[in-house]
Amino acid sequence: MTSTDDSRPVTLSEVWSYLKRCWPFYRPQIKHLLAFISLTIFSGVLVLGSMVLVEDLVYNKLLQGEKLQSLQASMFFLNDSFVSNGGENEELLSLSERDTLRDRMIIGGGFWVIIVYGSIVFGTYYMIWIFQRVNQQLRVEMLSRAEHLSLRYHSSSRTGDLIYRVYQDSATITNVLQWCVMTPLRVVGWIFFASLVLLFFSPWFGLIIFVISILMFLVSKKFVPIIREKARLSRELNSALTSRIQENLAASRVVKANSAEEEMMRRFSHDSKHALNAAFEMRLYISIYLLISLLLSIGGFIVAEYFMATWSIIEKSTYLGGVVAFVGFAAWNLGAFRAASAQGEELAAQVWEASYLISIVQDLVMGLRRAFYILDIEPEIKEKVNPKVFPKTIQKVSFESVAFSYEKDHSVLTDINLEAKLGTITAIVGGTGSGKSTLLSLLLRLYDPDRGTVLINGTDIKDFSTSDLRSNVSIALQQNILFAKSVKENIAYGIESTTEAEIIDASKIACADDFINDMPLNYETELGERGGKLSTGQRQRLSIARALLKNTPILILDEPTASLDAETEKRVMSNIAKWGRNRIIFIITHRLSTIKSADRIAVLDSGEIKEFGSHQDLMTLKGDYAEFVKSETGDE
């Protein structure tokens, strides 16, 4: 599913809004983040401090033999003979003293390496742990939202797309702190500071900075929308590729059945090429943009450096350098050249970094949009704030003037009125595509009706929580979906606690016990992907057993017997009829023998219940049902 407004420009306020949205994911880790930052600062200070110390110790003390300051000596546990008394013509360190100093420095250095690199190395590990936790929270929230989204969303979205969003798009959240907070602050700070220093040297630099800023702005205006668009495309096409792979593999059997391997490879290759091209183009445009930015910023700096050098030759006086303490150069000389050149180089590097930042943020925001998109989908199935408790005993299920359509102007159900009482089996009959399965999926709230209400004991099912409702209504699906788990786990799927005996009982009612016992590991046998390794009839019976095990007051069987032979069908149906005495059962079926075991038959046609009653009632009516029975039995 592509949301077309993903191509809108990235504004500062959007970045700000994502910062706010990411905060709840960072907040639980804030203590760890602070600890990590402290650790980083600690090792940073240690590195900088020790560099100054080592420079002095090596060059002045060890190599030239000067005596140490008392603090330095105590750091290395050296006695007073090493310490300088501050006198003018002090003695140098003796050779053996210098050896001692060196040995102590090496030992100290050993500790230093372990502490500093240790904190860097394990700090990195710590950081990975923190960001993984941030990402984990987002991933789980996305997936659990997806699990609860209505089937209407799922039927128009692709599995691979969700995989891509949960992996790739959600991972961008780990970069938010760096690219939306830390780096921008540093870059802006540096640019401001370096520009200020340069201005004090000469206002001409202001002109250069101004001209380059204008040019940079124009270049960015040209390139940023392209980069954004390429980033979006790259994400969408790679997500489409993931879907393609997933679908190809899920459809392996069909591919085989139609010898469509080459066609599938062609489609895959096509998608793969497009995805790679998009990834390439995004990187290419970023590179071109960065190259232009580089030529402008470093080029400007080289030109500025030319002026600095020529002014130094003539020792031209600086603009305000002499009066401002932190510049401190009244006229151009080598020192002034070095200082100004260093600032210029830093400024150019920061400008380049800024354009890098801008490019990255384009892609980052594309990722965030796609990740938060899942969280932003308004769930169609809304939960009541104070749901009613599902009744202990139920009397009836009723559909009142229910209308439903998957798409506008294409209604499936127009006006359904149906009531089923405790202890009855209601068969739903009708042409293919007449909406039988849809009708009963409303009872599970997989969808909500457009109009009308579905009631249990006279209470609108929207007043119950969906989890409460779904744990009281069980269904054996028409497409016998099984999972790649053991037989036992498949039967007990979705049930909190159950015993082995209950599982076996349910299997017996569904006539599945026999064939399960023939399997190599019986109930522990692992089923293949999507429950392969079983025949359709066997899968069907496992689905039925699963629905029975839930032991709910309401049971829906969608074409439960389509793949069973007549004998097994009879056994299953009579078991279910016995089992269902105190329940309400709905059966969708085409099979006459199954229909006959029902108490009530509802004939669904053009979105309405056209005929309703017992087999005898409907036969005397001589309507569609009688017609159907005639065509099923033929002349016999």
Partner 1 sequence: MSDATTHDKRFDDRVDLDTRLSGSETLRIVGRSLQFIGRVKVFFIIKILFALVSVLPPLLVPWILKIIVDHVILQQPIDILNANLPSFFIPLLGLLEGLTPSEIMFAITSFMLVTLTIFGLRAAPAEQAEAWGMPIGYDAATQSEQALSAGGSKANGIWGLIELSLTIRMTQRLANDLRMQLMERLTRLEMTTLDDQRIGDSVYRVMYDSPMLPGICYRLTIEPLLLILGTVLNIYLMQSTYGDFIPELLKLAVFLVFLILFITIPLTGLARRLHQTNRAAGASTTNTMEESIENISAVQSLGGSEKEAQRFSDASEESYRRHRHTALFDALISMVNYICIFGSMAIAFVLISNSVIEDELTVGDYSALISMFFMLSSAAGGLGLYLVEVQKNIAAVRRVFFFIDYTSEYNDDARRMGRIQKGVKIRNVDFSYPDGRVALKNINLDLPIGKVIAIVGPTGAGKTSLAYLLPGYLRPSSGDIWFDEYKLSDRSVKDIREQVTYVFQEHMLLSDTIKENLLLARPNATSEEIDFACRISCADEFIANLPDGIDTGLGKAGNTISVGQKQRISIARGILRDTPIVILDEPTAALDPKTENKLMAGLKQVADKKLFIIIAHRLSTVKAADQIIFIEDGKISDVGSHDELMSKKTGRYRQFVNLQND
Contact map string, positions 458 to 477, toward partner 1, x by CB under 8 A: ---------x--xx--xx-x
DSSP E strand stretches across 510-560:
554-558
Tokens of 251: 């459809």
Judged by CB under 8 A, the stretch of 19-27, 291-299, 320-328, 501-509 that binds partner 1 is 291-299
Using the minimum distance from each CB to partner 1, give the nearer residue, 323 or 632: 632
Nearer to partner 1, 421 or 530 (CB): 530
Q: Which amino acid is at 504?
A: I
Report 341-370 residues binding partner 1 (CB under 8 A): 345, 349, 352, 356, 360, 363-364, 367
**Judged by CB under 8 A, does residue 481 bind partner 1?**
yes
The structure tokens listed for 228 are 């954004």
The number of beta carbons lying within 10 Å of the beta carbon of residue 281 is 17
DSSP symbol at 60? I
Site of tokens 């019986």 = 522
For residue 279, state whether it binds partner 1 (rule: CB under 8 A): yes
Q: Which is nearer to partner 1, 135 or 424 (CB)?
A: 135
Q: Which of 11, 136, 395, 582 binds partner 1 (CB under 8 A)?
A: 136
155 binds partner 1 (CB under 8 A): yes
Cα–Cα distance, 97 to 99 (Å, whole number): 5
Q: Which of residues 541-580 bind partner 1 (CB under 8 A)?
A: 546, 550, 559, 562-568, 570
Part in contact with partner 1 (CB under 8 A); list of ranges 16-24, 69-77, 181-189, 431-439:
431-439
DSSP label at 328? -
Q: How far is the CB of 272 from partner 1 (least distance, A)?
A: 6
Q: Number of residues in contact with partner 1, rule: CB under 8 A? A: 180
Binding positions for partner 1, 292-321, rule CB under 8 A: 294-295, 298-299, 301-303, 305-306, 309-310, 312-313
Rounded CA-CA distance 542/250 in Å is 21
- In angstroms, rounded to a whole number, what is the distance separating the alpha carbons of residues 271 and 277? 10
Q: Does 204 bind partner 1 (CB under 8 A)?
A: no
Q: How far apart are CA 105 and CA 55, in angstroms?
A: 12
Subset of residues 208 to 237 that bind partner 1, contact rule: CB under 8 A: 234
Q: Which stretch binds partner 1 (CB under 8 A): 184-192, 195-203, 238-246, 382-390?
A: 238-246
Rank residues 219 and 255 by Cβ distance to partner 1 and give the closer one: 255
Q: Out of 27, 186, 222, 253, which residue is the one contacting partner 1 (CB under 8 A)?
A: 253
Tell me the closest approach of the beta carbon of residue 386 to partner 1, in angstroms: 20
Going residue by residue from 404 to 423, which x/- string records binding to partner 1, judged by CB under 8 A? --xx-xx-------------
Selected binder of partner 1 within 151, 330, 403, 577 (CB under 8 A): 151
Site for partner 1 in 582-611 (CB under 8 A): 590-593
H or E stretch including 418? strand 410-421
Sole binder of partner 1 in the list 272, 417, 522, 606 (CB under 8 A): 272
| Site membership for partner 1, residue 37 (CB under 8 A) | no
Q: Contact region for partner 1 (CB under 8 A) — 77-85, 185-193, 533-541, 578-586?
A: 533-541
Angstrom distance (rounded) from CA 296 to CA 288: 12
Q: Residues, the chain, total?
A: 636
Helix, strand, coil percentages (3-state) for the chain, rounded to 5, are 65, 10, 25
Least Cα distance to 428 among 574, 602, 596, 261 occurs for 602
Would strands 608-613 and 600-605 be described as parallel, antiparallel, or unpaired?
antiparallel
Could you give the CA distance from residue 422 to residue 77 in angstroms, rounded to a whole number?
Answer: 91
Residue 3 within binding range of partner 1, rule CB under 8 A: no
Question: Which long-range contacts (C-beta less than 8 Å, at least 24 apart) are formed by 274-281?
Answer: 274/237, 274/240, 274/241, 275/234, 275/237, 275/238, 275/240, 275/241, 278/230, 278/233, 278/234, 278/236, 278/237, 278/238, 279/234, 279/238, 281/230, 281/233, 281/234
CB of 411 to partner 1, least distance (A): 12
Per CB under 8 A, the list member of 67, 139, 369, 583 interacting with partner 1 is 139
Residue 251 interacts with partner 1 (CB under 8 A): yes or no: yes
Q: Looking up tokens 């798009």, which residue turns up?
A: 169
Strand 473-476, strand 554-558: pairing: parallel
Give min distance, CB of 599 to partner 1, in A: 18
Q: What angle do CA 412, 416, 417 make, to 5 degrees?
A: 170
Question: With CB under 8 A as the contact rule, which of the stretches 14-22, 66-74, 390-398, 528-536 interacts with partner 1?
Answer: 528-536
User: Among residues 22, 394, 446, 557, which is the contact residue for partner 1, using CB under 8 A?
Assistant: 446
The least distance separating partner 1 from the CB of residue 581, rounded to whole angstroms, comes to 22
